[in-house]
Amino acid sequence: MADGILRLNDCDVRSNPAVWSHDPSMMWDPVTGRYYSYSTDVFRPEFGLSSPIGIPVRSSENMVDFKYEGIVLSEGAIAQGRDNGTYPDTIEFWAPFAEYVNGEYRIYYSATKAFGSSESRIWLATAKNPLGPFENRGIVADTWGTDDSYPNAIDAHIIWKESRCYLVYGSFFGGIYIKELNGDTGLPLDGNAKNLGICISRKAEIPRIDGPEGAAVIYVPETGYFYLFQSYGWLGDDYDIRVGRSREVTGPYLDMEGKNLVEESMGVKIAGSYRFKAENPRADEGNNGWVWDGLRGPGHGVPFYDTQTGQYFFVHHIRDGAAVNREYDPKENRASYKVHYMMIRPMFFINGWPVLGPEPYQGEKFEPVSPREAKGYWEMIVLDDQDNEIKDSMECVLDADSDYLTNGRIYQCRDLENQRDTLVVTGFSNSGIAYWGKFMYSIV
């Protein structure tokens, strides 16, 4: 974000609103004429962040420059959502999704028994103002008291099919589920929060990559498909973004080879950890020795159609890959990159499948550029479908008839790593592997 993700080593949410946004959502409010992004509660005192529990929100007039607005749940809603009976109170609320329906603002948010537990609840809270206070209306999904073979009631997303409202949710364990809600109230259609719905994605027994979680569904009239986005991997490091599609909201969701996302496929990978080259990143006073080392773990995002620009976007969190932010857990034998940000990418559709822009949105118009205009030296990243290690760029010469250029979407945008305008390309190879590219210089 302008003055947000670009200032990677600034960990103060007051001066860098994009920082600490985890599991971000996005909503356009026709009443106030502003965008609102709600996210997971984050408490990191070692970085000077002391936002209280209660769902933080950021607002914007242009989806580029954001303002941190504070938390939105009422004190009563917070107390009710945290209450786990004889079990210790929930520490923080996760993964909110918000929408404006029937003259009211609705937020679906998660309260779990403990980190790593499959026993959780998704609450619906409502308000007359996007900044709250939001009061709880009721529970829409409840997996409290279930074992790990059931879905986890977290990571809510709402998708409407005509006048019918559906909740998409779940994380690891039993997979991703969908259940119908009452569109008038936002509560379960049958009044039963324990009715879990049907499974639309679940990990097979073999893949080493964890997941799926952080699911969201959008319908795209231009293609006639519903798209199910989800994340695989460890959220602290090698998280990714994948997708399947279906003609029906309830599935089945399939990959490019026609494999079902239920136990057959993880979906088509469209984003992962990456490292473009950067020239003198943040080499100004106060840099404190910070060195660019790529971005890690894009994931848990939401597809978003912006009615103001007529453009599709994908809103997700991502982690600063600098070694200074790396924390190793010997017990789990894995690393976590501690500082994370909200990132908004443009989303395009090529042959009926979504691709994401290589660089964050900075207000561009995305005018298409022809392969003939784009021939030259390029920096390319190929997003391996199975290997979730960070991907370094490679330099190559692309002619006007190169598959990378003829298969992809080329446009001009702002270069995050080098702070200048450039051409980029995004697309799928002939074998269905997603790639990103950044123009370097023309062929002489």
Rounded Cα gap, residues 404 and 366, in angstroms:
18
Of 268, 313, 226, the closest CA to residue 427 belongs to: 268
Whether residue 49 is predicted with pLDDT greater than 70 in this model: the reply is no
pLDDT band, very low/low/confident/very high, at 281 (cuts 50, 70, 90): low
Q: Which two tokens stand for residue 96?
A: 């909110």
pLDDT band, very low/low/confident/very high, at 357 (cuts 50, 70, 90): very high
Alpha carbon 281 to its chain centroid, in Å, reads 25
Of 51, 53, 26, 50, the closest CA to residue 38 belongs to: 26
Helix (H, G, I), strand (E, B) or coil at 403: helix
Determine the average pLDDT of the residues in 206-226: 93
pLDDT in tens, 406-437: 999 999 999 999 889 999 999 999 999 999 99
Rounded Cα gap, residues 415 and 64, in angstroms:
15
Name the residue with tokens 């023309």.
442
pLDDT band, very low/low/confident/very high, at 346 (cuts 50, 70, 90): very high
Q: Which two tokens stand for residue 239?
A: 């998280």
pLDDT, residue 133, reads 98
CB 270 within 8 A of CB 377: no
Rounded Cα gap, residues 37 and 19, in angstroms:
12
Name the residue with tokens 């569904």.
217
At residue 119, φ and ψ (nearest 5 deg) are: -100, 110
Strands, sheet with 135-142, edge to edge from the N-terminal-most edge strand: 94-101, 104-112, 120-127, 135-142
Strands, sheet with 391-392, edge to edge from the N-terminal-most edge strand: 353-356, 340-350, 311-320, 295-306, 274-275, 391-392
Name the residue with tokens 């709250």.
132
Determine the average pLDDT of the residues in 162-170: 96
Q: What is the pTM of this model?
A: 0.95
Of 400, 411, 423, the closest CA to residue 368 belongs to: 411
Query: pLDDT above 90 covers what percent of the chain?
Result: 80
Rounded Cα gap, residues 48 and 40, in angstroms:
17
- The b-or-e profile of 174-198 (16+ CB within 10 A means b, else e) is bbbbbbbbebebbbbbeeebeebbe
pLDDT, residue 1, reads 36
Q: Residue 407: enclosing H or E segment and its boundaries? A: helix 403-407
Rounded Cα gap, residues 49 and 326, in angstroms:
18
Alpha carbon 293 to its chain centroid, in Å, reads 21
